[in-house]
Amino acid sequence: EAQVTQNPRYLITVTGKKLTVTCSQNMNHEYMSWYRQDPGLGLRQIYYSMNVEVTDKGDVPEGYKVSRKEKRNFPLILESPSPNQTSLYFCASSLDRINTGELFFGEGSRLTVL
Amino acid sequence: GENVEQHPSTLSVQEGDSAVIKCTYSDSASNYFPWYKQELGKRPQLIIDIRSNVGEKKDQRIAVTLNKTAKHFSLHITETQPEDSAVYFCAASLYSSASKIIFGSGTRLSIRP
């Protein structure tokens, strides 16, 4: 089954404790991205990646890191989480950004930082 | 950079009536405009998209119109049904580049029985 898988789905952590949210897709998609969803603000792009070893900042990259060492994986790293990073996070992938635009989203990861 | 504004933030319509959600964008270079539907507790899913070389696109009860001159695009849902209740997001991007995609703030659509 074609899918984008995120883990963990739910996480409660404390300020400053490093965490990683994993994202994996099995569709051989080139493009992957991370979004955070907050009430009234819609989906805001954190980082995106056009292909392996190619990443770029979205609109709200502060406090986050990403890596793209393999085509299928695009982890989101919070080196020192803060309460303002409490949010619902979505990973998404697309075949490529040239020929097709549809984004396939993961199920979301709800993060709470105390 | 691109900015997308979406209105209204909430919309309640009687079942069977039509619903219209409007978005405006700021970057005249944007040429791809998708709409995503997010049901409660679920992930966003693409329902329709339009590219700048057409003015309207339909898919059954859903249609999207684009006015490039005015830089706005709209989602039209006719004969609304309970399963249309969801949050809808518009978005804009520059299709043929290593682009960011900018989403609107979302519209929560409720269908009254």
pLDDT digits 0-9 by tens, A76-92:
999 999 999 999 999 99
Asked if A108's CB is within 8 angstroms of B34's CB, the reply is no
Residue among A76, A64, A43, A91 nearest B103 (CA): A43
Q: Work out the mean pLDDT of chain A and round it to a whole number.
A: 93
Share of chain B above pLDDT 90, in %: 79
Asked if B102's CB is within 8 angstroms of A45's CB, the reply is yes
Asked if B100's CB is within 8 angstroms of A48's CB, the reply is yes
Q: pLDDT per residue over B36-63, tens digit each?
A: 999 999 999 999 999 888 899 999 999 9
The whole-angstrom distance between A19's CA and the closest CA on chain B is 22
Angle at A90 between CA B91 and CA A84, to 5 degrees: 100
Residue among B94, B49, B76, B35 nearest A42 (CA): B35
Residue among B58, B61, B108, B59 nearest B85 (CA): B108
Name the residue of chain A whose CA is nearest to B48's CA.
A102
